[in-house]
Amino acid sequence: MMSEHEQLLVRAVEGAGNAVLITDREGTTVWANAAMCRQSGYSLDELIGHTPRKLSSGQQSPQVYRQMWQTILAGKAWQGVLVERNKAGELYTVQQVISPLLSAEGAITHFLAIQHSNCSLGGEREEMHRLAFNDALTQLPNRALLLDLLRQEIADARNANQVFTLLFLDLDRFKQVNDRFGHLVGDKLLMAVAQRVLSTIRRTDVLGRLGGDEFIALLPQMAGKRVNRLTEKITSAICQPFEIDGHTLEVGISIGVSQFPEDGCSVEALVDAADKAMYEVKQRKRT
């Protein structure tokens, strides 16, 4: 809950030209102005309850954020240049100043972030980022970006006391396709598989390719029966024949599930749990 002074501050910056965001002491967004929503591409409802990591591009070193937190928790203002990513996936740079907001007793209650957008990153630098963080074949997030997004989701879920689910997907009989029809057909099959899985999940979910015929799906705020229904939907979609280069291809899929925080609270624990669950599913099919 913001104090009367802080609410007055909110009214003062509501129509400001610069993007403004307020978080609580733990870093969870409690308010943002219209300029921040326009700049980020997210609505106010999509920003509130999440940390500003939602806008992270993954281009800053952890040391930058450690120094930022050390400065503002000491009651001082921090300023610097950050590269962020909007909802559409575009990169842009901001000059940001973060200041602590204090209670009448002098305790830090909130943080005020004011951003001035410098420019969008285009051309060669944007292409370099795409190559570094997107799978060249499917254009899905690659392993590096997937793990970064998973770290962000863990932090957001922990702050909001929410659950989320991780799916580890591995194709059945993919090797036989490669061996019989060649890697070009196999690559086209992987692209088709990615599109079918994408058609089954929500826009807020994330699908990425770990490598080979392994994929990971990140499902924010989803658990229980909803996950079961989704895995059945994915399985049904993938088990339908694929028509590629005049060949009718039939593959299956094995899906392992892990849930935060029940199955782990770290990237490694959640991926490992889902991987083991997937392997058990595959083993049951072989017996």
**pLDDT higher than threshold 60 for residue 130:** no
Residue 181 pLDDT class (50, 70, 90 cuts): very high
Specify the 3-state DSSP secondary structure of 7. helix
Domain boundaries, the chain: 4-130, 134-286
213 belongs to the catalytic site: yes
CATH label, 134-286, candidates 3.40.50.2000, 3.20.20.60, 3.40.605.10, 3.30.70.270: 3.30.70.270
Percent of the chain with pLDDT over 70: 87
CA-CA-CA-CA torsion sign (269, 275, 280, 283): negative
Mean pLDDT of 199-214: 90
Residue 128 pLDDT class (50, 70, 90 cuts): very low
Catalytic residue selected from 135, 156, 172, 213:
213
**Beta-carbon contacts of residue 258 (< 8 Å; ≥ 6 apart):** 165, 166, 168, 264, 269, 270, 271, 273, 274, 277
**pLDDT higher than threshold 70 for residue 138:** yes
Question: What pLDDT score does 287 carry?
Answer: 75
Q: What is the CATH number of domain 4-130?
A: 3.30.450.20
Mean pLDDT of 240-259: 98
Helix 225-239 with 183-200: angle, nearest 10 deg: 140
pTM, whole model, 2 decimals?
A: 0.61
Question: What pLDDT score does 3 carry?
Answer: 59
